[in-house]
């Protein structure tokens, strides 16, 4: 992949990361000359239309989000079999690595990071996009200390039906209980994940851990976190209350919007009183991972004191003596298989586990697996669903343009294939309208631009540029755009190619000598040679007819921007003609008979009004 050029513009350089669906490279935008990050879909997914559609959706969704706290998406496309997204190249380290290296952060820094993440989420939620994968690995801390939220790879707009399956796609340590259970997600799901991020930043560890994702997911649903101050005594009461309210199991008891949480964090940072309501004060700590082995090998939960609310939101512990008096019933060890069975029943969203278990258990007679409708037309898909019985699936269809899916064929289905569905399940099917018609754009005026400037101006309108033959130009300097084939202001379609021509500077031509020619003929010939700076002066002449050129300056080979002066005859001087006298052989001059006076006179030429005479006068 290294050194490959994608889209004729982006040079792929070294690999900087790899995820579940894509590889990320550092690259160079050869048009704008800037370093970028290029995400390319892994080959095993690029051939799958549903994954390709999801990858495309990721680019479109992320590109719409403009915030100083969200990584910028510049471009996306397909080159051969490779789908790619071009993003802002970030310098710094992810928050997960920072916590691993430096340990728990101070309370103010935790709140500052949380506030900035809230601003990013506010923008996303305003576009009806739930991130669904907020975790420290997706929070980049830049050299100036500010953060950017990355990877909207599993984000999904509320009105979109694109998803590979109903499984939990995020990391188990950070997903909300409702995401673990496959329920509908809203903004509060991202706020739960943010609460866990702040918990880890404040304590140096995640609140729930286990041997595998299933065990962790089960704890997300059923267990309460150890209050942060019991892990790190430096966590103050107010920040602890904020974090624990984010992590309430019931979404209705959390902060309801990212803006609400941001205001609370900003109040905390400013030293103002923070009102967290009643929900947080009701949290009771329960055992999580502290287990004690009894002599008989049975696992017994370590006792933890009950807690009571305070006005500050702190979850205090009771005395040790009280804790030691608590009686905790012994539990029989639960096998991993039984845990999986419980999770399958509760965590319906983990599709791979659930699908395998349903196959082993023979399924549920009250549910049916969603069929795979990939590649079907609307008639074929609806007929297939009708086979399951009248009213089992309630089908709604819609259409959208898709450059990669044949017109009339299915783009996506929701629920995804193999999902266990009950009677009355709402099914949304999206079918392709074929390639989206190119939008009409107005051709920009490229004259006077550098080649890179012209390419940028065209790229902003999704137009392509092509350099034609160089042309001479009297008014555009060498190397800049002198003309373009498609006129500025005319209409073009996105993707069209606009050919432009660069100036080779002012040329030279033989101006010749047009003395004796008519003015109109001389000017026309000079114009045809590229001389446009022509000055005309007038003078009387008895030898050159009126309207004809007496003289030209300069003549011969000249630069085409040279000023050419044509001196044009106005005919004989009237004053000179009236001074001619004829008589009886005598003249007003005394002499011995005849006297002849001869001479010529002329006046200097001017461009606006000039007089002059040439010739001889005689008298007897």
Residues 100 and 192 in one domain: yes
Residues 26 and 65 in one domain: yes
pLDDT > 80? residue 253: yes
Number of independent structural domains in the chain: 5
Highest mean pLDDT pick, 202-206, 341-345, 433-437, 593-597: 202-206
Is 133 known to be catalytic? yes
What range does the domain containing 35 cover?
A: 1-89
Residue 590 lies in a domain: no
Question: What pLDDT score was predicted for residue 283?
Answer: 38
Annotated binding residues for ATP, written as ranges, equal 39
Residues 283 and 220 in one domain: yes
- DSSP three-state, residue 37: strand
Residue 609 lies in a domain: no
Residues 130 and 201 in one domain: yes
Residues 158 and 10 in one domain: no
Q: Which residue has the higher pLDDT, 581 or 22?
A: 22
As a whole number, mean pLDDT of residues 451-455 equals: 92
Residues 58 and 101 in one domain: no
pLDDT > 50? residue 402: yes
pLDDT > 50? residue 601: no
pLDDT > 50? residue 139: yes
DSSP string, 204-224: SS-S---SSHHHHHHHHHH-P
Residues 216 and 178 in one domain: yes
Question: What pLDDT score was predicted for residue 580?
Answer: 59
Is residue 612 exposed (0-12), middle (13-18) or buried (19+ Cβ within 10 Å)?
Answer: buried
CA angle, 273 as apex, 234 and 311 as ends, to 5°? 70
Separate counts of helices (H) and strands (E) for the chain: 17, 28
Question: What pLDDT score was predicted for residue 587?
Answer: 44
pLDDT > 90? residue 367: no
213-222 and 336-346 are packed helices; what angle lies between their axes, rounded to 10 degrees?
Answer: 60
pLDDT > 50? residue 572: yes
Tell me the CATH number at 375.
3.30.10.20
Considering only CA atoms, which of 517, 512, 614 is closest in space to residue 567?
517
First vs last Cα of the chain: how many Å apart? Answer: 104
Residue 62 lies in a domain: yes
Residues 65 and 192 in one domain: no
Q: For the chain, give the mean pLDDT.
A: 78
The 82-88 sheet, strands edge to edge:
5-6, 10-18, 22-29, 34-41, 82-88, 73-79
Question: What pLDDT score was predicted for residue 152?
Answer: 67
Contacts of 324 (CB under 8 A, 6+ apart): 303
As a whole number, mean pLDDT of residues 322-351 equals: 40
Taking only the tens place, the pLDDT of each residue in 23-49 is: 899 999 999 989 999 998 887 777 777
Residues 131 and 3 in one domain: no
The single residue of 94, 133, 190, 402 carrying the catalytic annotation is 133
Q: Where does the pLDDT of residue 82 fall: very low under 50, low under 70, confident under 90, or very high at 90 and above?
A: confident
**Euclidean distance between CA atoms 439 and 225, whole angstroms:** 53
Tell me the CATH number at 350.
1.10.510.10
Q: Where does the pLDDT of residue 121 fall: very low under 50, low under 70, confident under 90, or very high at 90 and above?
A: very high
Question: What pLDDT score was predicted for residue 615?
Answer: 40
Residues 234 and 267 in one domain: yes
Annotated binding residues, written as ranges, equal 39
Specify whether the CB–CB gap between 30 and 11 falls below 8 A.
Answer: yes
Domain boundary among 502, 522, 551: 502
Tell me the CATH number at 54.
3.30.200.20
Rg of the chain over CA atoms, in angstroms? 42
pLDDT > 50? residue 399: yes
Q: Which residue has the higher pLDDT, 545 or 351?
A: 545
Residue 383 lies in a domain: yes
Domain boundary among 67, 89, 111: 89
357 CB neighbour count, 10 Å cutoff: 17
Task: Give me the half-sphere count of Cα atoms (radius 13 Å) on the Cβ side of residue 440.
Answer: 3
19: part of which helix (H) or strand (E)?
none
Stretch among 30-34, 133-137, 196-200, 471-475 having the lowest mean pLDDT: 471-475
| pTM value > 0.75 | no
Taking only the tens place, the pLDDT of each residue in 486-541 is: 999 999 998 899 999 999 888 888 999 999 999 999 999 999 888 889 999 999 99
Residue 69 lies in a domain: yes
Residues 60 and 192 in one domain: no
Domain boundary among 432, 449, 478: 432
Residue 347 lies in a domain: yes
Residue 174 lies in a domain: yes
Highest mean pLDDT pick, 44-48, 298-302, 365-369, 461-465: 461-465
- DSSP three-state, residue 407: coil
Residue 169 lies in a domain: yes
pLDDT > 70? residue 339: no
Residues 192 and 155 in one domain: yes
């Amino acid at each position: 992949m290294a050194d490959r050029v994608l889209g004729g513009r982006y040079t792929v350089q070294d690999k900087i990361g790899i995820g579940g669906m894509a590889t990320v490279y550092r690259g160079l935008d050869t048009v704008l000359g800037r370093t970028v990050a290029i995400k390319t879909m892994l080959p095993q997914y690029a051939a799958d239309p549903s994954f390709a559609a999801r990858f495309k959706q990721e680019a479109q969704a992320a590109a719409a989000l403009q915030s100083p706290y969200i990584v910028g998406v510049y471009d996306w496309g397909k080159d051969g079999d490779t789908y790619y997204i071009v993003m802002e190249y970030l310098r710094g380290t992810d928050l997960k690595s920072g916590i691993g290296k430096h340990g728990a952060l101070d309370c103010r820094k935790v709140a500052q990071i949380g506030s900035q993440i809230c601003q990013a989420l506010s923008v996303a939620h305003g576009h009806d996009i739930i991130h669904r994968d907020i975790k420290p690995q997706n929070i980049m801390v830049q050299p100036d200390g500010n953060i950017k939220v990355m990877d909207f790879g599993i984000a999904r707009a509320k009105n979109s039906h694109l998803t590979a399956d109903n499984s939990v796609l995020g990391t188990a340590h950070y997903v909300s209980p409702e995401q673990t259970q496959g329920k509908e997600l809203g903004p509060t799901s991202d706020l739960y994940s943010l609460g866990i991020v702040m918990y880890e930043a404040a304590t140096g560890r995640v609140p729930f851990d286990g041997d595998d994702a299933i065990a962790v997911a089960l704890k997300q649903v059923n267990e309460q976190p150890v209050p942060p101050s019991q892990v790190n005594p430096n966590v103050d009461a107010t920040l602890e209350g904020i974090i624990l309210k984010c992590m309430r199991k019931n979404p209705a008891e959390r902060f309801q919007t990212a803006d609400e949480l941001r205001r609370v964090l900003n109040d905390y940072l400013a030293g103002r009183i923070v009102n967290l309501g009643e929900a947080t004060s009701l949290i009771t700590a329960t055992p999580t991972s502290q287990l004690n082995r009894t002599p008989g090998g049975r696992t017994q939960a370590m006792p933890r004191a009950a807690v009571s609310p305070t006005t500050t939101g702190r979850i205090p512990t009771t005395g040790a003596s009280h804790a030691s008096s608590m009686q905790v019933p012994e539990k029989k060890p639960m096998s991993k298989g039984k845990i999986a069975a419980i999770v399958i029943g509760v965590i319906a969203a983990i599709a791979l586990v659930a699908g395998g278990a349903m196959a082993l258990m023979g399924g549920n007679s009250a549910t049916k697996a969603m069929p795979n409708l990939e590649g079907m037309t609307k008639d074929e898909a609806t007929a297939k669903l009708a086979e399951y019985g009248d009213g089992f699936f309630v089908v709604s269809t819609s259409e959208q343009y898709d450059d990669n899916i044949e017109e009339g064929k299915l783009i996506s289905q929701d629920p995804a294939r193999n999902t266990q569905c009950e009677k009355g399940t709402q099914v949304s099917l999206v079918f392709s309208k074929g390639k989206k018609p190119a939008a009409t754009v107005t051709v920009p005026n490229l004259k006077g631009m550098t080649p890179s400037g012209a390419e940028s101006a065209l790229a902003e309108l999704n137009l392509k540029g092509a350099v034609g033959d160089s042309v001479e130009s009297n008014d555009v300097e060498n190397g800049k755009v002198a003309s373009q084939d498609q006129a500025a202001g005319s209409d073009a379609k996105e993707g069209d190619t606009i050919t432009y021509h660069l100036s080779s500077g002012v040329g030279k031509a033989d101006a010749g000598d047009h003395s004796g020619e008519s003015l109109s003929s001389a000017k026309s010939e000079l114009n045809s040679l590229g001389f446009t700076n022509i000055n005309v002066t007038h003078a009387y002449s008895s030898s050159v007819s009126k309207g004809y050129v007496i003289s030209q300056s300069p003549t011969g080979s000249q630069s085409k921007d040279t000023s050419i002066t044509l001196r044009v005859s106005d005919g004989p001087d009237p004053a000179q003609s009236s001074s001619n006298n004829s008589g009886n052989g005598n003249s007003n001059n005394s002499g011995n008979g005849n006297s002849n006076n001869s001479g010529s006179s002329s006046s200097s030429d001017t461009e606006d009004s000039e007089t002059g005479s040439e010739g001889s006068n005689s008298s007897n």
